[in-house]
Structure 1
Amino acid sequence: MTVSTLDAELAASANRRWWNRTTIVLAVALLLVGGFMAGTAAQRAFGVQPTATGPGGLRGQGGFTPPTAFPGGGSVGAQGRPQRAESTTGTVKLVDGTTIYLQTESGAVVTVRTNGDTAIQVPGDLKSFKAGDKVSVDGDAGTNGSLAASSVTKTG
């Protein structure tokens, strides 16, 4: 090999790029996959952990419930906050005697059963509810998906 041939080969190889379109695409894909995996690991380590609070949302942590009762069926949770029965909100579809058919925001229709102990939080009585009224119902869920209402409140 002569000096001029060697110089020509060195000059030709010096101008080559070490990257091309495929290298860039692979690098971006690697960054995306790495970011996704890091985010998943961070969520698993630091994210919100589900708790066994049950329905109602105002239950204390720890599972201890003292026997003190509040009006409306609630009791005191382990952190001193009142517990409530399950609360469901929606729009009245139909009132049939002591039964209210309530459509939730998700579109499900819930059967709400009332009795003489149910607190009605609206001027008048259960007959004053009309289709389209917004209501909130506190009560215990039955095995068939209906609610045994402890209180019904007109919200709008």
Structure 2
Amino acid sequence: MPSPPSPPDDDTAVLPRTSSADEDLSSAIAAAAPKRWWNRTTLALLGLVLAIGGFLGGVQAQERWGESSAPASPRPAGSVAPGGGMRQSPGTSGTVKLVDGTTLYVQTAEGETITVRTTDTTAVKLAQTTTLDQLTTGQQVTVQGATDADGIVTATTVTAG
């Protein structure tokens, strides 16, 4: 039976020899190969830049063309703003139910009665600027002003007709 080959005297392993021509060719191919311009970090940063750019673009588009963040159905003029403060009313239309001194009561098409407080600076218009006592019960009016916590509108303008 043949004996197994003996290990080399030193602790180095025997490796197959390569020619220097093979090494030179491998080095030349590696040097000529195009270098990759990206890696994982580059891709992650590119993704982050795109996400931030998309977010900022969306913010700009919302500011320019978007709807306001107001509720979809506006509250009637007799409603109270959040926090109970005064808010500017876009206007209320309805029929004069009663004129009592400087207070006007307007019934909306929905049947709700809105209390309207007027001041000396409230403009009351009827084909021309007039006074509150010129309004009659049953007359159609549009009221603009601010609504307080009690739902009372302080009118800036009352327009009849």
TM-score if structure 2 supplies the norm length?
A: 0.45
Point out which structure has higher relative CO (alpha carbons under 8 A, 6+ apart): 2
Instruction: Give 1 or 2 for the bigger CA radius of gyration.
Output: 2
TM-score if structure 1 supplies the norm length?
A: 0.46
